Amino acid sequence: MKKIVYMLLLLSFAFSAKPDVDLQVEEKTYHIGDRIFLEYQIRASDKYLFLLPDPKDFFQDVLLISADKHQRFKRGKQFLKLNAEIVSFDTGFVHIPPMPVITTDSTGMANPDTLFTPEKYIYIYSILDSGSSPIAMNAPLPLALMTWWEFLIALLLLAIAVFLLISGLKYHRNKVEIEEVIWVSPYEKAEHLLNELEKKQYPEHQEWKIFYLELTYIIRDYFENIYYIHLQELTRSELLAVLSEYLKADKMQALEEMFSYADLVKFAKAMATADHCRRHIEILREIISEGKINEAEAMD
């Protein structure tokens, strides 16, 4: 009988010491730009060694803001935590992928084993959710008929408008106006808008959000006028997918970093810096300058 009890204790200890991997995510409704906090927990005996994965190698459809690791030991057990913070700027399901965790014993000599973190799907809603309740509206009030003095004022205003219209037609009857239409190239228009944006001095007043709203509009407007495609209402990922067919890899990488940074400022309320603002304006000026050179070479 004692042998059976002893064997059961050994088995229970073995199963309790087996590494356990868990993922905790706050259950709530997420919208575009909301920060999602992921907490991975690993519990095991102190005889194990763990090689934790780097989240940036596995999160592809979201923007990884931060990741940190913690470890503590207590009474022959160890507790590891991997905390990650992500943001999604597209609606629909976000896939939290499984990540490999490599384990071995404390000597590092045993055959390594691989555990996988749980995977999860999180749905991201639009800021304007179709399920929101409509604004309450009061019934329209009945229209009241105008009094005699209101009719008189209306007739007087109508007579004045007719008089001004007739006077204007007589004045311009024998005068031929030739309007000169000045055509502005997409490059000149974009440069003009960038100059106007700099004059507003948004970075000096720490008005980051409105700065990046206007900057991203200028970028989209420039590429629309260059390639004759509609871009203003596309999401970040859709826009980059379209532009990847026209731009070189180095310019695409610069645009991806710029749009990711702008989305953090516009939607996640992140703080920007004046140096980033100046650098992003210079990146767009480099793209505009390169476009002008390519067009001149094509004409030659």
Residue 134 DSSP label? P
* Confidence band, pLDDT 50/70/90 cuts, at residue 138: low
Closest by Cα among 273, 274, 281 to 216? 281
Lowest average pLDDT, out of 5-19, 95-109, 162-176, 233-247, goes to: 5-19
* DSSP element (H, E) containing 15: helix 2-17
Q: What's the whole-model pTM score? A: 0.46
Lowest average pLDDT, out of 14-18, 165-169, 208-212, goes to: 14-18
Closest by Cα among 161, 150, 117 to 19? 117
Ordered by where they begin, the domains of the chain are 16-125 (2.60.40.10), 186-299 (no CATH)
* Confidence band, pLDDT 50/70/90 cuts, at residue 1: low
For the residues 50-76, what does the mean pLDDT come to? 81
Q: Specify the pLDDT at position 300.
A: 66
* Confidence band, pLDDT 50/70/90 cuts, at residue 137: low
Q: Count CA atoms within 13 Å of residue 75 on its CB side.
A: 0
* DSSP element (H, E) containing 41: strand 35-45
* DSSP element (H, E) containing 64: strand 63-74
Residue 9 amino acid letter = L
Cβ-contact 242, 234 below 8 angstroms: yes
**Stronger pLDDT, 45 or 111, i.e. the higher one:** 45
In sequence order, which residues have a C-beta less than 8 Å from that of residue 267 and are 6 or more positions away? 32, 33, 87, 89
Q: Specify the pLDDT at position 200.
A: 93
Task: Assess whether pLDDT exceeds 80 at residue 172.
Answer: no
Task: Assess whether pLDDT exceeds 80 at residue 7.
Answer: no
Determine the Cα–Cα distance for residues 203 and 210; give it in Å rounded to an integer: 10
In this structure, what is the dihedral angle of CA atoms 196, 246, 253, 198, given to the nearest 10 degrees?
Answer: 0
- The values of phi and psi at residue 72, to 5°, are -145, 155
For the residues 140-162, what does the mean pLDDT come to? 79
DSSP string, 236-255: HHHHHHHHTTTS-HHHHHHH
In sequence order, which residues have a C-beta less than 8 Å from that of residue 21 and are 6 or more positions away? 40, 41, 42, 101, 115, 116, 117, 118
Q: Mean pLDDT of all residues in the chain?
A: 81
For the residues 275-289, what does the mean pLDDT come to? 91
Render pLDDT for 18-41 as a digit per residue (tens, 0 to 9). 788 888 898 888 888 888 888 988
**CA distances, 179 to each of 77, 170, 176, 234 (Å):** 84, 20, 10, 36
- The values of phi and psi at residue 80, to 5°, are -115, 140
Cβ-contact 224, 231 below 8 angstroms: yes
Render pLDDT for 65-84 as a digit per residue (tens, 0 to 9). 888 888 888 787 888 888 88
